[in-house]
Structure 1
Amino acid sequence: MVTEQELNFVLIPLLAASHIIPMVDMAKLLARRGVTVTLVMTPLNAIRFTTVIDRAIGSGLLIRVLELQFPAKEAGLPEGCESADLLPALAFRRNFFAAIDMLQDQDEKLLEEMKPKPS
């Protein structure tokens, strides 16, 4: 039987502030129930939400952030375009979603190695 302390909810938001903000709120709600919550995002997105996440962690919530390296260059995006709201033009949307698709292998490896295992 899995206890609450062994539960690990993994949240992987779409890389857009409008998706990350509610996911961070959801992480806080889940963590208040005594479970571990792991947010998976890219480095730039993690930095953008550090203050609110650190505040939640500081209050005793079991939230952690794991980062995936965003393949901007490989997808033909300018550096720093790790979120849909940071794209310099709508013409980069296809490249952005191609970059998100390229994250799959990193994400799967991260999930396989994660401790505690995702619930």
Structure 2
Amino acid sequence: MHHTATEPTRLQPHDRAGRLHAGLTLLRQERAPIADYQPADAPFVEAWRETRDRCANDHERALDHLDRFLHAHLGDLADLVRRARDGRGPTPLLDQIERALRTAVA
């Protein structure tokens, strides 16, 4: 059976490691270099900013904060990655999320 990049969002991983892996797998996909978010993406963007700030202020629990973000927004993340591949998603924001996840799991 062929698996697509969006399948991790169909069956939400049940643990933190699975969610972090699913998020990084999505974010490793190639994206158009110049794309930005749309007004409808504002709740996702705000949720990311809150998560980013929590991680910056509470380094010891960064993985927990990222996990909660992915648990709530993995489907939205998959949608934004798909759009970014086509030049219609928030590439700079996705780059920022990918860097944060890579740093946290390193």
User: Which of these two proteins has the greater Rg computed from alpha carbons?
Assistant: 1
Greater per-residue strand proportion: 1
Report the TM-score when normalising by structure 2. 0.30
Greater per-residue helix proportion: 2
Report the TM-score when normalising by structure 1. 0.28
